[in-house]
């Protein structure tokens, strides 16, 4: 019987204490090292992490497993996820890299995200690492080799240089409010924006302060940023999740613009015929004149499909833009490209978004027991009837040609997610509320 996969939609996620024990982290470190050896990858391995309390310990235990297998390990400190990938492009002496981060999920959880071959690892490689882990776990007792790890800052330095190289200066003298949530972009993007000549107002921009675990897909998670943009009379607001590969924008009126719409705007202006995006993004992208390929939710699925179609750009609803030359989500590069687009069009964000068809997408999530997933999907198919369904990932039901609801379990955390879209704000909110109540009723009745 096949072992259960450690991996969710993107990397490994779970409780920082009960899953990411020192022994588990050490074993996964060994598995990654053995995976690299199996692919004849030699050299150094870089490890970075987000600013949650558990990350340094997990980093040391994981790195100890990598070092045990003979690799030199370089500690990149608190750094954005995309910096761990751009490092592999900038310096081929690195065989691979890993980010210790739980991304947007709650601070008592954590995770590991892997990069090799110059990109985020694909699902087929996750399967290989998973197999190696289960064949090797527990065979070597945890050995603390953190004293052998080299302190390094190359990842952040190379990433900053990469972002500056993508900027199309000069820009208008805009006032930008930036909110990294005391996460991994705190020491990067405020500096980048100042280098590009913007007036920058910082909030929640210190890794010395408790990190904010916020979801760029959930309405209200960046409400303080929205208010700050208005009170500062700023031209734009930019917020990031804790590891910096997701971004949300706030227009000059304080309106949060979801990744569905900024992604569609970028896709429209990127080269090539194809754009790749998961099943849970707005249908607005279908109106921009590109061929659209839909995938399961998760950046490895998007990256894999982009490679297959030779697409130059893909994106997720969470604000994670994926550019082919890097092959991973990048909140920093997405920010630079939005600034480039706004500058080229000589307009503010609200005007640019208004060029897209009007539509409303709302999302929310509920904590639940994963064993209820099949029951929820089965019952939803009976209760919510529409003109067509899509089971690429979860259950998406089109109630009409421009109204849909999606029921989907997270593969990263014990959360059930509901998504709804309609051309009317009221209809979208009512459909989401109906879906959430349906899921809650099943959870309550199953206790």
On whether both 192 and 210 belong to a single domain, the answer is yes
Q: How many CB atoms lie within 10 A of CB 161?
A: 11
| Residue 420 included in any domain | yes
Tell me if 301 sits within 8 A of 279, measured CB to CB: no
| Residue 385 included in any domain | yes
On whether both 218 and 339 belong to a single domain, the answer is yes
119 has which bridge partners? 116
- CATH number (domain holding residue 40): 3.40.120.10
User: What are the pLDDT digits (tens) for 86-138?
Assistant: 999 999 999 999 999 988 778 899 999 999 998 899 899 999 999 999 999 99
**Residue whose structure tokens are 């849970």:** 280
Flag whether pLDDT at 222 surpasses 70: yes
On whether both 376 and 235 belong to a single domain, the answer is no
Average pLDDT over residues 396-414: 90
On whether both 342 and 418 belong to a single domain, the answer is no
| Residue 48 pLDDT | 97
Backbone angle region of 127, left / alpha / beta, with phi > 0 → left and psi within -120 to 50 → alpha: alpha
On whether both 325 and 196 belong to a single domain, the answer is yes
E-strand ranges in 18-151 read 44-49, 72-78, 94-100, 109-116, 119-120, 150-151
On whether both 293 and 367 belong to a single domain, the answer is no
Query: Which secondary structure element, helix H or strand E, spans residue 178, and what is its range?
Result: strand 175-179
Flag whether pLDDT at 412 surpasses 90: no
On whether both 91 and 230 belong to a single domain, the answer is no
Reduce the DSSP state of residue 7 to 3 states and report it: strand
Spatial separation of the C-alpha atoms in residues 301 and 9, rounded to whole Å: 8
The range of the structural domain enclosing residue 416 comes to 360-445
- CATH number (domain holding residue 428): 3.30.310.50
**Which residue among 353, 387, 411 closes a domain?**
353
What tokens appear for 309 in the block? 């179609």
Kindly indicate the confidence band of residue 1, based on its pLDDT and cuts at 50, 70 and 90: very low
**Which residue among 102, 132, 156 closes a domain?**
156
Q: What are phi and psi of 367, to 5 degrees?
A: -70, 140
| Residue 7 included in any domain | no
| Residue 215 pLDDT | 86
Average pLDDT over residues 209-229: 90
| Residue 162 included in any domain | no
Task: Count structural domains, the chain.
Answer: 3
| Residue 66 pLDDT | 98
| Residue 132 pLDDT | 98
Least confident piece of the model among 18-27, 96-105, 138-147, 279-288:
96-105
On whether both 344 and 195 belong to a single domain, the answer is yes
| Residue 179 pLDDT | 98
On whether both 220 and 277 belong to a single domain, the answer is yes
In SS3 terms, 262-300 reads as: HHHHHHHCCCCCEEEEECCCCHHHHHCCCEEEEECCCHH
- CA-angle at 289, arms to 288 and 290, nearest 5°: 100
| Residue 2 pLDDT | 52
Average pLDDT over residues 52-74: 97
What tokens appear for 291 in the block? 């061929």
Q: What are phi and psi of 72, to 5 degrees?
A: -80, 130
Q: Of 440, 388, 392, 444, which Cα lies nearest the Cα of 416?
A: 440
170 preceded by a cis bond (ω within 30 of 0):
yes
Count of H-run helices and E-run strands, the chain: 13, 21
pTM of the model: 0.92
Name the average pLDDT for the chain: 94
Average pLDDT over residues 16-22: 97
User: What are the pLDDT digits (tens) for 318-363?
Assistant: 998 999 999 899 999 999 999 999 999 999 999 999 999 999 999 9
**Which residue among 306, 326, 353 closes a domain?**
353
On whether both 78 and 190 belong to a single domain, the answer is no
- DSSP for residue 245: S
Share of the chain above pLDDT 90, in %: 88
Flag whether pLDDT at 8 surpasses 50: yes
| Residue 2 included in any domain | no
Share of the chain above pLDDT 70, in %: 99
On whether both 306 and 190 belong to a single domain, the answer is yes
| Residue 402 included in any domain | yes
């Amino acid at each position: 019987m096949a072992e259960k996969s450690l991996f969710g939609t993107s990397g490994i996620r779970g409780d920082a204490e009960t899953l990411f024990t020192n022994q588990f982290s050490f074993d996964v470190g060994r598995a990654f090292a053995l995976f690299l050896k199996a692919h004849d990858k030699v050299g150094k391995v870089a490890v970075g992490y987000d600013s949650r309390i558990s990350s340094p310990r997990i980093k040391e235990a994981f790195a100890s497993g990598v070092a045990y297998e003979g690799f030199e390990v370089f500690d990149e400190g608190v750094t954005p996820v995309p910096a761990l990938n751009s490092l592999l492009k900038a310096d081929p002496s690195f065989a691979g890299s890993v980010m210790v981060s739980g991304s947007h999920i709650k601070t008592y959880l954590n995770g590991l995200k892997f990069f090799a071959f110059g990109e985020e690892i694909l699902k087929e490689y996750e399967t290989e690492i998973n197999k190696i882990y289960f064949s090797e776990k527990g065979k070597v007792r945890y050995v603390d080799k953190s004293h052998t790890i080299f302190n390094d800052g190359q990842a952040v330095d190379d990433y900053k240089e990469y972002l500056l190289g993508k900027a199309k200066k000069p820009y208008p003298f805009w006032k930008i409010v930036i909110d990294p949530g005391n996460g991994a972009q705190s020491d990067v993007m405020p500096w980048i924006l100042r280098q590009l000549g913007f007036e920058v107002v910082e909030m929640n921009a210190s890794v010395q302060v408790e990190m904010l675990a916020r979801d760029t897909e959930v309405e209200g998670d960046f409400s303080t940023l929205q208010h700050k943009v208005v009170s500062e009379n700023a031209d734009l607001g930019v917020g990031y999740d804790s590891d910096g590969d997701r971004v949300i924008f706030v227009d000059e009126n304080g309106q949060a613009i979801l990744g569905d719409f900024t992604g569609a705007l970028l896709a429209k202006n990127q080269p090539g015929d194809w754009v790749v995006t998961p099943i849970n993004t707005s249908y607005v992208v279908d109106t921009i004149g590109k061929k659209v390929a839909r995938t399961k939710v998760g950046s490895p699925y998007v990256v894999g499909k982009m490679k297959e179609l030779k697409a130059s750009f893909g994106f997720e609803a969470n604000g994670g833009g994926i550019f082919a030359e890097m092959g991973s989500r990048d909140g920093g590069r997405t920010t630079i490209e939005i600034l480039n687009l706004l500058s080229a069009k000589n307009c503010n964000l609200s005007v640019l978004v208004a060029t897209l068809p009007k539509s409303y997408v709302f999302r929310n999530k509920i904590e639940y027991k994963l064993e209820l997933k099949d029951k929820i999907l089965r019952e939803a198919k009976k209760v919510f009837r529409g003109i067509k369904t899509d089971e690429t990932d979860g259950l998406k039901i089109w109630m009409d040609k421009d109204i849909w609801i999606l029921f989907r379990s997270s593969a990263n955390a014990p959360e059930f997610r509901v998504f709804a879209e309609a051309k009317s704000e009221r209809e979208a909110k009512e459909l989401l509320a109906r879906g959430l109540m349906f899921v809650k009723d099943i959870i309550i009745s199953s206790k």
